[in-house]
């Protein structure tokens, strides 16, 4: 930011316009004062002792309205003070009214320049500011004279003492002339400030419309003196002041609410920008766009810190909408460096405040006054500075500092993310290359695994043939020897033969189970679905298991609903499922315990499978299964800790095969168990396996978490 005295052609033009208008007004009012001194004296005699009271009322009334002005633009204000001037001239005449109007206007202007009162104006250039105050001789003095002249030309008298429709019409005409003259005298200052004709037209129409709406109130205030006296004037003036105060507060509240919403929207948009994959340049432009919506960004810059070189790189520098070339500045010089070094924002209202902060700006081409800079901090590290400047003094407020700080913090995160994303793109490319290499390696490994799997299957097929041939002989001859030597051999030797027979059968079952699992894994297990009577199948399994159960002193109880239909399933695999479940139930039941098998029909609407289903429950009163082991009991070769301690035998393949056979049927198996109480295994099997196979929407439910007392497969 640089400092300098603004001395441009536009400044000279503004000063000349206000000087001409002020001189014109002063000369006109001075001449009118001399020419109408007798009229003025007559007005004061007519008013008598009420004259000072009326003058005081109008001064207070006009001052109040002038101080409670509305901002139309940053340079043009709308005040209802013109209402007081319209009400003033019919009672005080052109001379007194014009001098009072100018005095009030200049006085309130000087108060606002010195930051006194509710309406404060930034002091930019003392010469220009005071010349503008002088120009109010023309802005308000001449229009009051014009309004009074029109009123008098139409037959109006000073002071107006009769409230007649004709006088009201004359006052309306005079007030309208005052409004028109005021708009005319505002034209050249607005042009001096560079306003376009369309903007001047819109501002004038708005200003005139506001004044015309208040014109009837001014007429009533003037006419009230003749009927009520100065009490009516003061009552109406007080009412108007209160109404203006309330309206101004409402307008300011609405303006602040709109400004707050705009600021929140800008912060939200900055937050959205962070989540998008912008380049650094796009990020900076997005930040500038959002800042411009809520802060004066005529002069705006974003400088990023280059830690390796100790420089500030001005990546974005905007001057009145024009993009300046990027440049670099060494740390230690200027206001941006102060912000970087102190990790704090810096708000300067004018050049005079630089010494108070102990800073010095860097000379450039911008003769600015106000400067606001905030650090961009990401992860406790300053990455840059966002700065805004203005030619006006005290252009930025503490609210602007808070907002810009919030934007800067988000901007820092956005810039850091952009840098990280750029680095990530390089890492991603390297990772993709590595993934391709690993994919090729895995492809080769997979081929070797497929070859190994084929070798394993071939090995199992060959070994099963080689093992089952001698095992069949061992099982057969041991069975013959058991029967032939019963009673001939010593009991101890006879038990040896029984052990040989039992071990051979156990080994054969193990080989068959392993082969079945191998077929299932290879996807070569095929079901042979036939239509059969499920009741007879369950009864046959029960008869076979009854002998095994009687040896263990366990009772098997079967319960089959009469409405169970014939089913189309693989009867051999179903028997294998039931044998596995009943065998486990008998094995882990205590002596005298009861094993129950029940079967029922479940319609498609109530079935978890989505089609007609048979449900088979196998319940025991055994040792039960802990909750944390419910999911693992269906794993191959797994046995629970309690089962291993009970030494009930088994290979740990039965439940794994059972689960696979159930899933091949498009069914489901559930288990509920409580240690020390018993377990219930529930089968859901389709009535028609062929129909279930044709349904592509079937999904096998997943197991619940291990902490649940129920597991589903």
| 3-state SS, residue 160 | coil
Rg (C-alpha) for the chain, rounded Å, is 50
> 173-182, 257-266, 529-538: lowest mean pLDDT where?
257-266
> 275-284, 527-536, 658-667, 688-697: lowest mean pLDDT where?
275-284
Segment 326-346 shows an average pLDDT of 83
Alpha helix positions (H), 293-397: 334-342, 354-357
Tell me, what's the pLDDT at 595?
Answer: 92
Query: Rounded to whole angstroms, how far apart are CA atoms 309 and 238?
Result: 67
Residue 542 has pLDDT above 80, yes or no: yes
Query: Rounded to whole angstroms, how far apart are CA atoms 314 and 303?
Result: 4
Residue 99 has pLDDT above 70, yes or no: yes
Segment 522-532 shows an average pLDDT of 79
* 451: Cβ contacts below 8 Å, ≥ 6 apart: none
Write the DSSP string, 304-317.
Answer: EEETTTTEEEEEEE
Specify the pTM. Answer: 0.46
> 294-298, 445-449, 647-651: lowest mean pLDDT where?
647-651
Check if the beta carbon of residue 583 is closer than 8 Å to that of residue 656. no
Mean pLDDT of the chain: 78
> 49-58, 523-532, 602-611: lowest mean pLDDT where?
523-532
Query: Rounded to whole angstroms, how far apart are CA atoms 559 and 617?
Result: 10
- Which residue intervals of the chain bear CATH 1.10.1760? 9-231
**At 543, is the pLDDT very low, low, confident or very high (cuts 50, 70, 90)?**
confident
* Bigger pLDDT: 675 vs 207: 675
pLDDT digits (tens, 9 = 90+) for 318-327: 887 788 888 8
Is the link from the previous residue into 198 a cis peptide, with omega within 30 of 0? no
Check if the beta carbon of residue 653 is closer than 8 Å to that of residue 633. no
Write the DSSP string, 463-487.
Answer: HHHHHHHHHHHHHHHHHHHHHHTTT
**At 651, is the pLDDT very low, low, confident or very high (cuts 50, 70, 90)?**
low
Phi, psi of 123 (to 5 degrees): -85, 110
Query: Rounded to whole angstroms, how far apart are CA atoms 584 and 705?
Result: 24
Residue 316 has pLDDT above 70, yes or no: yes
Alpha helix positions (H), 301-397: 334-342, 354-357
Which position has the token pair 């101004």?
248
- CATH (one of 1.10.3470, 1.10.1760, 1.10.287, 3.40.50) for 9-231: 1.10.1760
Tell me, what's the pLDDT at 685?
Answer: 93
- CATH (one of 3.40.50.2300, 3.30.565.10, 3.40.50.620, 3.90.550.10) for 526-712: 3.30.565.10
> 268-282, 362-376, 420-434, 626-640: lowest mean pLDDT where?
268-282
> 1-15, 471-485, 615-629: lowest mean pLDDT where?
1-15
Highest mean pLDDT among 9-13, 603-607, 644-648: 603-607
pLDDT digits (tens, 9 = 90+) for 567-610: 999 888 888 889 888 888 888 888 888 999 999 999 988 988 88
Residue 75 has pLDDT above 50, yes or no: no
Query: Rounded to whole angstroms, how far apart are CA atoms 468 and 635?
Result: 25
CATH superfamily of 273-419: GAF domain (3.30.450.40)
Which position has the token pair 């978490």?
705
Check if the beta carbon of residue 287 is closer than 8 Å to that of residue 273. yes
User: Where are any strands of DSSP class E within 179-309?
Assistant: 299-306
Tell me, what's the pLDDT at 173?
Answer: 92
- Which residue intervals of the chain bear CATH 3.30.565.10? 526-712
User: Per DSSP, what are the bridge partners of residue 541?
Assistant: none
Tell me, what's the pLDDT at 5?
Answer: 39
**At 698, is the pLDDT very low, low, confident or very high (cuts 50, 70, 90)?**
very low
User: Per DSSP, what are the bridge partners of residue 569?
Assistant: 530
Helix (H) / strand (E) element for 376: namely strand 370-378
Structure tokens at 441: 């390696």
| 3-state SS, residue 689 | helix
Tell me, what's the pLDDT at 684?
Answer: 94
Residue 96 has pLDDT above 80, yes or no: yes
Tell me, what's the pLDDT at 565?
Answer: 92
Tell me, what's the pLDDT at 616?
Answer: 94
């Amino acid at each position: 930011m640089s400092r300098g005295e603004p001395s441009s052609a536009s400044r000279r033009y503004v000063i000349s316009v206000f000087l001409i208008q002020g001189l014109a007004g002063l000369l006109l009012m001075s001449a009118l004062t001399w020419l109408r001194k007798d009229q003025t004296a007559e007005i004061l005699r007519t008013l008598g002792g009420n004259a000072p009271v009326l003058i005081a009322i109008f001064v207070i009334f006009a001052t109040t309205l002038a101080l409670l002005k509305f901002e139309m633009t940053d340079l043009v204000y709308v005040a209802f003070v013109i209402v007081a001037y319209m009400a003033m001239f019919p009672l005080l005449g052109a001379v007194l009214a014009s001098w009072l109007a100018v005095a009030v206007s200049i006085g309130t202007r000087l108060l606002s320049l010195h930051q006194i009162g509710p309406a404060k104006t930034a002091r930019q250039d003392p010469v220009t500011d005071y010349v503008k105050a002088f120009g109010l001789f023309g802005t308000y003095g001449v229009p009051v004279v014009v309004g009074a002249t029109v009123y008098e030309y139409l037959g109006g008298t000073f002071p107006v003492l009769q409230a007649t429709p004709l006088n009201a019409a004359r006052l309306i005409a005079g007030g309208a002339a005052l409004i028109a003259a005021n708009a005319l005298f505002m034209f050249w200052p607005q042009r001096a400030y560079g306003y376009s004709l369309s903007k001047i037209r819109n501002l004038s129409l708005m200003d005139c419309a506001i004044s015309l709406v208040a014109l009837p109130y001014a007429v009533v205030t003037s006419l009230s003196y003749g009927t009520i006296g100065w009490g009516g004037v003061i009552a109406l003036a007080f009412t108007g002041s209160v109404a203006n105060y309330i309206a101004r507060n409402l307008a300011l509240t609405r303006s602040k609410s709109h400004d707050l919403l705009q600021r929140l929207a800008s912060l939200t948009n900055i937050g959205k920008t962070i989540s998008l994959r912008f380049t650094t340049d796009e990020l900076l432009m997005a930040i500038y766009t959002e800042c411009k919506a809520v802060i004066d960004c005529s002069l705006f810059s974003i400088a990023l810190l280059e830690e390796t070189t100790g420089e500030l790189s001005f990546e974005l520098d905007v001057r009145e909408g024009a993009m300046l070339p990027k440049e670099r500045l060494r740390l230690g010089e200027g206001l941006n460096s102060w912000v970087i070094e102190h990790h704090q924002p810096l708000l300067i209202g004018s050049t005079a405040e630089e010494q108070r902060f102990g800073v010095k700006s860097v000379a450039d081409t911008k003769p600015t006054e106000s400067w606001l800079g905030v650090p961009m901090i990401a992860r406790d590290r300053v990455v840059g500075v966002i700065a805004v400047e203005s030619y006006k003094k005290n252009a930025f407020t503490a609210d602007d500092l808070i907002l810009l700080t919030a934007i800067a913090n988000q901007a820092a995160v956005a810039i850091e993310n952009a840098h990280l994303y750029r680095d990530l793109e390089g890492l991603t490319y390297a990772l993709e290359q590595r993934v391709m290499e690993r994919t090729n390696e895995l492809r080769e490994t997979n081929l070797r695994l497929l070859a190994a799997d084929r070798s394993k299957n071939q090995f199992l097929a060959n070994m099963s043939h080689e093992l089952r041939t001698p095992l069949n002989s061992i099982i057969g001859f041991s069975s013959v020897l058991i029967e032939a030597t019963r009673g001939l051999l010593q009991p101890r030797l006879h038990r040896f033969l029984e052990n040989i027979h039992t071990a051979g059968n156990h080994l054969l079952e193990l080989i068959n189970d392993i082969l079945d699992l191998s077929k299932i894994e290879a996807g070569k297990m095929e079901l042979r679905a036939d239509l059969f009577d499920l009741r007879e199948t369950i009864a046959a399994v029960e008869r076979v298991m009854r002998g095994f159960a009687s040896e263990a002193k366990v009772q098997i109880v079967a319960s089959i609903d009469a409405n169970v239909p014939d089913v189309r399933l693989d009867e051999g695999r179903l028997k294998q499922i039931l044998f596995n479940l009943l065998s486990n139930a008998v094995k882990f039941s205590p002596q005298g315990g009861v094993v129950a098998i029940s079967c029922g029909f479940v319609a498609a609407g109530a079935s978890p499978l989505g089609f007609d289903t048979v449900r088979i429950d196998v319940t025991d009163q055994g040792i039960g299964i802990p909750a944390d082991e419910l999911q693992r009991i269906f794993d191959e070769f797994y046995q629970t800790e309690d089962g291993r301690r009970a030494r009930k035998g088994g290979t740990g393949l039965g439940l794994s095969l059972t689960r696979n056979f159930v899933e091949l049927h498009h069914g489901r198996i559930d288990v509920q168990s409580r240690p020390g109480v018993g377990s219930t295994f529930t089968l859901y099997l389709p009535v028609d396996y062929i129909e279930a196979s044709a349904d592509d929407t079937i999904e096998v439910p997943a197991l619940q978490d291990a902490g649940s007392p129920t597991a589903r497969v």
